[in-house]
Amino acid sequence: MIVLKATQDKVLSALQAVAGIVERRHTLPILANVLIRKQGPQLELTTSDLEIQVRTTAELDGDAGNFSTTVGARKLIDILRSMPADQTVSLTANASKLTLQGGKSRFTLQTLPADDFPLVQEAADFGPAFAVPQKTLKSLINQVHFALAVHDIRYYLTGILFVAEGKTLTLVATDGHRLALAQATLEADMPKQEVILPRKTVLELMRLLKDGGKDGSDDQPIEMRFAGNQAKFTFSGMEFVTKLVEGKFPDYNRVIPKNHKFNVTLGRQPLLASLQRAAILTSEKFKAVRLSFEPGLLSIASSNAEQEEAKEEIEIDYGGDLIETGFNVTYLMDALQNMSQDMVSIDLNDSAASALITIPEQTGFKYVVMPMRI
């Protein structure tokens, strides 16, 4: 049976849409596979890691009739990538194998039964659906994802807090040393939700969500539904089901400093470039830089165990007291690199207080970074 017959780019695009969650090593070998289900002209591709499930449908020509199997997702993608984009490829089923053909090339792949594929058990009580523009959600994730904890026994810090209330959508990420918050105001009210999306889900959404294109024509909304411990997203022909992170996220409003005494607004790019140069001579372990704010001047200094030193100076519009404080330079650079605006604003109280970084023309973004002792 010919399962599909289409150009390489169409087949590869459909496979890549679902293969992002597939790990190369699994305790269950079948989780390295993609589930292929054919029902007439429509092909359904599904992947799972037991906590996240991604499914897409595509019209890829083939024989009429129904068929299902599973085959190694990464192997299939690697083979397709090696072929020309406009080449017609076919996938043919024969006994317990699939044969991929394109031009003079032929590959025979082992399959595992579709009935053995462990689909995620979906919740029976998903709440009401609501829609958010894909571009909006992707932008919010881009503004906070870098502050996620990577490995932390406080597992709730490894996910992004998703808060919907009224017309306001808020995303928050923190690793305990810094916190990033991004907000957007939507046109329609949303049902109140407060959930923690897992790190892997967040990164996969970043990869899959469209940013609307230059004319906004590709900005179909993403439809969301939440259950007690699951979320379901539907967008661009995709269905994405994920387990949620359980736990109590920190009260982010208490972390954000208020009533700062001093404010500096300066160019994002000059500040980032100075920090990148100073970072070269920081200690590998601590990555510390010292910032000195004095009237008209910001000095950035770093040193390391070899007694090497770097010093940068930036002219600033500042008339307050002398403030000397230290920060992890990586935390500062992460925030600046994930912005596109020309100017940033830094609010400070004293040498021992956290700094608040904001964007003058965008009130919905806040980034808090704790100081270091140097």
The answer to whether 256 and 181 have CB atoms below 8 angstroms apart is yes
DSSP string, 320-347: S--EEEEEEHHHHHHHHHT---SEEEEE
Q: What is the DSSP letter of 136?
A: H
Residue by residue, pLDDT tens for the chain (374 residues) are: 888 999 999 999 999 999 999 987 778 999 999 999 998 888 999 999 999 999 999 988 888 889 999 999 999 999 999 999 999 999 999 889 999 999 999 999 999 999 999 999 999 889 999 999 999 999 999 999 999 998 878 888 999 999 999 999 999 999 999 999 999 999 989 999 999 999 999 999 999 998 865 545 457 899 999 998 999 999 999 999 999 999 999 999 999 999 899 999 999 999 999 999 999 999 988 899 999 999 999 999 999 999 999 999 999 999 999 999 999 999 999 999 999 999 999 999 999 999 999 999 888 999 999 999 87
The pLDDT value recorded for residue 217 is 47
Distance CA 52, CA 201 (A): 7
Residues in contact with 70: Cβ distance below 8 Å, sequence separation at least 6, in sequence order: 30, 33, 34, 35, 36, 111, 112, 113, 114, 116, 117
pLDDT at position 30: 95
Structure confidence at residue 42 (pLDDT): 87
Q: By C-alpha distance, which of 250, 269, 282, 266 is closest to 368?
A: 250
> Who's near 131: CB < 8 A, 6+ residues apart?
188, 221, 222, 223, 224
Tokens coding 204:
């996969």
Q: CA 101, CA 86: separation in Å to the nearest integer?
A: 14
Q: Which residues are CB-neighbours of 244 under 8 A, at least 6 positions away? A: 159, 195, 196, 197, 198, 226, 229, 230, 231
Name the 3-class secondary structure at 33. Answer: strand
End-to-end Cα separation, the chain, in angstroms: 68
Q: Tokens for 334?
A: 């992460």
pLDDT of amino acid 213 = 57
* pLDDT the model gives residue 326: 97
Q: Report the largest interatomic distance among the alpha carbons of the chain, rounded to a whole angstrom.
A: 78
What does the pLDDT read at residue 159?
95
Q: Which of 145, 151, 194 is nearest to 174 (CA)?
A: 145
- Residue pointed to by tokens 């230290």: 326
Containing 196, the helix (H) or strand (E) segment is strand 178-198
What's the rounded Cα separation, in Å, for the pair 360 and 294? 21
